Amino acid sequence: MTAPQFHLLLPRAEKAGPCRMPFAADLALEEASESLDYPFLRVDLSRVSDREGFLDAIGKALSFPDWYGHNWDALADCLTDMSWLAADGYVIALENADGFATAHPTDFAMALSILQDAADTWREDGVPFWTLVGAADATAPWLRELE
Domains, the chain, in order of start with CATH, read 35-133 (3.30.370.10)
How large is the average pLDDT for residues 94-104?
93
115 compared with 134, residue with greater pLDDT: 115
pLDDT given at position 143: 84
pLDDT digits (tens, 9 = 90+) for 50-84: 999 999 999 999 999 999 999 999 999 999 999 99
* 131 sits in which H/E element: strand 129-133
Give me the torsion for CA of 132, 13, 105, 73, rounded to 10°. 120
Cα 37 → chain centroid: 16
Per-residue pLDDT at 109 exceeds 80: yes
Cα distance between residue 139 and residue 147, in whole Å:
19
Residue 45: which residues within 8 A CB-CB, separation 6 or more? 54, 57, 94, 95, 96, 97, 99, 100
Is the Cβ–Cβ distance between 131 and 94 less than 8 Å? yes
Residue 2 Ramachandran class (φ > 0 left, ψ -120 to 50 alpha, else beta) = beta
Averaged pLDDT score across all residues of the chain: 93
CB atoms under 10 Å from CB of 129, counted, come to 27
